[in-house]
Amino acid sequence: MISYEITAFGEPLARSDRPTPAPAGREVLLRVLAAGVCHTDIHTWEGSYDLGGDKRLRMAQRGVALPLTLGHETVGEVVAAGPDAPRGLQPGQRFLVYPWIGCGECRICRRGRENLCAAPRFLGIFRPGGYSDHIMVPDARYLVGIGDLRPEQAAPYACSGLTTYGAILKIAPEVLAEEAVVVIGAGGLGLMCVTLLRALGCPNVVVLEPDGARRGAALAAGAHVAVDANADTALDQIRRAAGEVWAVIDCVGAARTVQQGMDLLTKGGQLILVGLFGGELSLSPALLPMRAISIEGSYIGNLEELHALMALVRERKPRAIPTACRCLDEAQSALADLAAGRVVGRLLLSPSPATPAQAFQP
């Protein structure tokens, strides 16, 4: 099994060659077909999140141990299953992997909200992920069918799709059906948000994004207007395009974008944060009740929501975001290009052709 691992935070990923593991219990071994490269991978590789004011949230504080194989947006095909796995699994079946796995024992997990578990076992963050030619999934229940979607098209739904879908679900149904929604940022996360808003019937999606190529991609994804975030009149342009702004989804999560989102909201409006860029800002607590606005964080989504999302994708066929595939051995350059802002849409890693799944011998 070939994997690309973090062995020291901030250092180049290291190739690891080790025997391909055999699944035990309810485990399922997949051969990786596509693995998305996400901004969360950059934070994990760098080793911390920026909390502003020279404060950092270190990965070690979160329980991340090295070496670690990144990759939480993974599609693979079944190679082998443990003796306690469901009998219906067959070699070659293709699945999207739900990576946001909890401890399985706490009250949060028992309520079906594993993504909020205080002792998570997320694939690609706390357990080996998809920057590899194989991935071990601890239970077949975390495998979600992809229908006739291409692996590179399906993989981003495990994170960017699920994250933005979970955020959209927090918008009041009448707002989603009748009002404009402003999306801040048109990276992989923001573009996915645009496509899902349109699939869910939002009548007017307005995007705020500084990069021209990404603004063009946002329009192609279904946005009605894409405004240059660096323009002096950016917020005025947003208000002209959207009217009263009842809902903003911030897919960047920087101090400046959060402030822009709050400034845009009408009285009673809602700002939903999903981006993790970082920094800090100051606000007046008195203005929150006076303006009756809400600021809410939204953290990925649960397994039930991923099943619902993939059903939506099959039924309504939202526009696919731009994707580009690279070989697994280009994982480091893919991270670097994403960090430098050179990516429009989603980069994915795909291993070289490997031994057919049916021929695997544990």
pTM: predicted TM-score of the whole model, two decimal places? 0.95
pLDDT in tens, 35-93: 999 999 999 999 999 999 999 999 999 999 999 999 999 999 999 999 999 998 999 99
**Is residue 237 pLDDT above 80, yes or no?**
yes
Question: Could you tell me the pLDDT band of residue 352, with boundaries at 50, 70 and 90?
Answer: low
Reduced 3-state DSSP string for the chain = CEEEEECCCCCCCEEEECCCCCCCCCCEEEEEEEEEECHHHHHHHHCEEEEECCEEEECCCCCCCCCEECCCCEEEEEEEECCCCCCCCCCCCEEEECCCCCCCCCHHHHCCCHHHCCCCCCECCCECCCCECEEEECCHHHEEECCCCCHHHHHHHHCHHHHHHHHHCCCCHHHHHHCEEEEECCCHHHHHHHHHHHHCCCCEEEEECCCHHHHHHHHHHCCCEEECCCCCCHHHHHHHHHCCEEEEEECCCEHHHHHHHHHHEEEEEEEEECCCCECCCCCCCCHHHHHCCEEEECCCCCHHHHHHHHHHHHHHCCCCCCEEEEEHHHHHHHHHHHHCCCCCCEEEEECCCCCCHHHCCC
Mean of the per-residue pLDDT values of the chain: 95
pLDDT digits (tens, 9 = 90+) for 317-331: 999 999 999 999 999
